[in-house]
Structure 1
Amino acid sequence: MQVLHMNKGEGETSYAKNSLIQKKIILNGSSMLESAIVNILWEVKPGSMGVADLGCSSGPNCLTVISKIVHMVQAASDRMGRPMPELRISLNDLPGNDFNYVFQSLPELYKKLKLDCGIKGNCYIWGLPGSFYGRLFPSHSLHFVHSSSSLHWLSQVPSGLEPCAGTHLNKEKVYISKSSSTSVVEAYQQQFHEDFSLFLRSRAKEVVAKGRMVLSFIGRRSPDPRADEACYHWELLARALMSMALDGLVEKESIDSFNTPYYAPSLEEVQYEAEKEGSFVVDCVEAFEIEWDGGETTDLKESRGTRVSKTIRAVVEPMMESHFHLRHETMDELFMRYAKIVDGCLSKTRAIYINLLISFVKKD
């Protein structure tokens, strides 16, 4: 919780400048987002509507989500001939998130919503630091929960894989790989099931009857957690780290003891936890592919591998800084090597993420 956050600020390695993939995922979920909002307004008819964006991060994507939600509520209310409900919007992420960036951007967002776009009614936005693996809000205070590109992050490194366990079960790797043992895979699966179950139990207390959630996160179609679509980008990062170790730039023991708190679940795993918890019904499901570099072909200044490397760096650098204690120039070298390895991969094959997009309805 202390070290999991995106790169702050607006520099060249910041999340704000390297989050195209996450933006495309948000845009792909627009129709499901709108459908959920329309159904809330039609069925629940809230006069004051509680909205939460869980794992909001910082940068332009955060405000894109909020702007979309406000516009959709306004448009749906107009079509129904009803006044727009008061909106209470909570932006949630871990305490290390760059909330200052978000807060500094809010005045411009308010101006755009109220002046440029003709938004009527009251809209209140604030930040709420804390882990969504646990309670965050008062009981029955939320009508709509949104989360994009966040729930594949676990609450912790899976039990049994931490460096303090005494042995390193996942040597020379940073996540599940084709060569990972069954015990490593099961540790990751168990941690995901515990975390997602806790997420659902927490939201079940906070969301009103017939309230909705739209959750989007990296997953997989394959039943096998070792499938390339679930873990190959981590496999290549491990290769870059091992090349650094061979050159004496990183301690091999540090690689052996590093495990990413991440898991790409299958749809079946998600549905199993929802059915077991019992408070939510899965209303709609989509799984779509997105290329590692976002499929962009307009920027000829950088290789595809460099774009991928920047995206991954913006997300994982704070964790790696905390664990490996690398100097800035050594971190630069690591991600240059990673970019070259990814370029080699992309020259031979098409590399994709599988994104799961799921809409849930709270039972009466």
Structure 2
Amino acid sequence: MERLMLEILANEVKHGNRPNNSFESSSFTRVVDAMKDKFGSLVSKKAKHALEKSMQQFCRLNLPSKECIIVGDLGCASGPNTLASVKEIIELIDSESRNMNYGLPYIQVFLNDLESNDFNSIFKSLPLFYDNLEKYGRQSGSCFIATMPGSFYGRLFPDHSIHFIHSSFSLHWLSQVPWGLVNEKGLPINKGNIHIGKTSPPEVRRAYLDKFANDFTNFLRMRSIELMPNGRLFLTMLSDNHHRHDAYNALDLLAMTLNDIHGYREQELRHIIEKEGSFKISHLETIKVLVGDAFGNHAWSLSRGFRAVYESMIVTYFGDSIVGDFFNRIHAFYTMEKSFLDDIKQPKD
């Protein structure tokens, strides 16, 4: 794997993409794809299994009477993997259709993200995406993809117009910074953290949780209006592992060097969903994966991965002059943290 990473890096250098410059997200995607091929992805595997189960239940209720399935993918972002979830959903619908001896339905997909998202790059990728669907067995003109810009904390679609709504790793982004993160003197009460860290006081967690509860309740309420009867809502979200004292996660590493994002615990999600009352929980599972699990404990690949995901946000708030040094520090802090955890896990003589 190290050789593979070095080969990819060497190829990028040939194209002028040196390590001290911006490392393209497409290059990081090649590394991640290679790691998945060799080791498999725990999150993807378990999430796909849950999605398959949800889609089977959905198709049994809807395929006999539906000539066109309407799908919404919320928080789609833009990049090489934007259409990956859509492709998987289409393949699952087609597989269930064949298993049930039905013809393949038309599929209309709406991709959603904020107005600032680079939808043009998605449009440019659609011809190849449609070609691949035809190779897979879909007729030309049987799948239609459009965009629906806007915040998913508000209304996006007409009443009862969507069959299946999917969102992956988007709902941890709050609609705005929570209130109550400063004291009566206007000083921050979460000093040294950029999210709910291990050293955050209880009132910080309460402020984030209250804001998340409000946002997530709005999200559920809007989706309950937009979904058709027998519709499905499938969400993959970040969770909270701070009850593990030996755990290091992505936001802890960012905090060591800078986010108004955080994951929430399973019981908190269940309480919010049941309190809002529009949805019945079909499946709720926590998949525990640490940073090292996702990146194979390679500090190089982790720091490049962080750069691919977070660079635009860092530049927006702090400018591009700190980018190189910032992500070098991510590398250093991860190496130091991992070394410390490895030491304390060694068996005592």
Residue 269 (structure 2) aligns with = 270
Deviates most, 137-146 or 287-296: 287-296
Residue 73 (structure 1) aligns with = 93
Identity %: 35
Is the Cα–Cα contact under 8 Å of residues 54 and 93 in structure 1 kept in the other structure?
Answer: yes
Secondary structure, in 3 states, of the residue corresponding to 2:177? coil
Write the mapping of 1:15-34 to structure 2, written as runs, cut at 5 A.
15-18=25-28, 20=32, 24=41, 25-34=43-52
Superposed displacement of residue 316, structure 1: 2.7
- TM-score for both structures, normalised by structure 1: 0.77
1:319 aligns with 2:339: no
1:310 aligns with 2:304: yes
RMSD of Structure 2 on Structure 1 (CA): 2.7
Go from structure 1 to structure 2 and tell me whether the alpha carbon gap of 1:71 and 1:232 turns closer, same or farther (over 3 Å shift): closer
Residue 10 (structure 2) aligns with = none
Go from structure 1 to structure 2 and tell me whether the alpha carbon gap of 1:162 and 1:80 turns closer, same or farther (over 3 Å shift): farther
Residue 104 (structure 2) aligns with = 84
Give the structure with the higher percent strand: 1
Residue 330 (structure 2) aligns with = 338
1:263-284: CA deviation from partner (whole Å, max 9, x where unpaired): 2101111111110111111111
Please give the alpha-carbon distance, in whole angstroms, between the structure 2 residues aligned to 1:33 and 1:147. 11
Go from structure 1 to structure 2 and tell me whether the alpha carbon gap of 1:318 and 1:37 turns closer, same or farther (over 3 Å shift): same
Residue 201 (structure 2) aligns with = 181
Runs of 4+ in 1 over 6 A off after TM superposition: none
1:167 aligns with 2:187: yes
Residue 237 (structure 1) aligns with = 254
Is the Cα–Cα contact under 8 Å of residues 91 and 125 in structure 1 kept in the other structure?
Answer: yes
Superposed displacement of residue 160, structure 1: 2.9
Is the Cα–Cα contact under 8 Å of residues 173 and 238 in structure 1 kept in the other structure?
Answer: yes
Please give the alpha-carbon distance, in whole angstroms, between the structure 2 residues aligned to 1:176 and 1:309. 21
Please give the alpha-carbon distance, in whole angstroms, between the structure 2 residues aligned to 1:309 and 1:343. 10
Please give the alpha-carbon distance, in whole angstroms, between the structure 1 residues aligned to 2:26 and 2:46. 19
Which structure has the larger Rg? 2
Please give the alpha-carbon distance, in whole angstroms, between the structure 1 residues aligned to 2:316 and 2:182. 14
Please give the alpha-carbon distance, in whole angstroms, between the structure 1 residues aligned to 2:98 and 2:234. 23
| Equivalent AA in structure 2 for residue 177 of structure 1 | G
Superposed displacement of residue 204, structure 1: 0.4
1:62 aligns with 2:82: yes
1:118 aligns with 2:137: yes
Please give the alpha-carbon distance, in whole angstroms, between the structure 2 residues aligned to 1:15 and 1:154. 24
Is the Cα–Cα contact under 8 Å of residues 26 and 65 in structure 1 kept in the other structure?
Answer: no
Superposed displacement of residue 99, structure 1: 1.8
Deviates most, 318-327 or 67-76: 318-327
Write the mapping of 1:188-337 to structure 2, written as runs, cut at 5 A.
188-220=208-240, 229=247, 232-240=249-257, 260-296=259-295, 304-327=298-321, 330-337=322-329
Residue 7 (structure 1) aligns with = none
- TM-score for both structures, normalised by structure 2: 0.80
Is the Cα–Cα contact under 8 Å of residues 177 and 232 in structure 1 kept in the other structure?
Answer: no
Is the Cα–Cα contact under 8 Å of residues 78 and 84 in structure 1 kept in the other structure?
Answer: yes
Secondary structure, in 3 states, of the residue corresponding to 1:146? strand
Residue 36 (structure 1) aligns with = 54
Superposed displacement of residue 234, structure 1: 2.6
Secondary structure, in 3 states, of the residue corresponding to 1:268? helix
Unaligned 5+ segments in structure 2 are 1-16, 343-349
1:15-47: CA deviation from partner (whole Å, max 9, x where unpaired): 4444549x8444432122122222222112322
Is the Cα–Cα contact under 8 Å of residues 239 and 265 in structure 2 kept in the other structure?
Answer: yes
| Equivalent AA in structure 2 for residue 51 of structure 1 | V
Give the structure with the higher percent helix: 2
Question: How many equivalent pairs are there?
Answer: 310
Please give the alpha-carbon distance, in whole angstroms, between the structure 2 residues aligned to 1:348 and 1:130. 43
Secondary structure, in 3 states, of the residue corresponding to 1:347? helix
Residue 7 (structure 2) aligns with = none
Please give the alpha-carbon distance, in whole angstroms, between the structure 2 residues aligned to 1:173 and 1:124. 44
Superposed displacement of residue 96, structure 1: 2.2
Instruction: Tell me: higher relative CO, structure 1 or 2? Use CA pairs within 8 A at least 6 residues apart.
Output: 1
Superposed displacement of residue 14, structure 1: 4.2
Write the mapping of 1:119-138 to structure 2, written as runs, cut at 5 A.
119-120=138-139, 122-138=142-158
Please give the alpha-carbon distance, in whole angstroms, between the structure 1 residues aligned to 2:188 and 2:307. 24
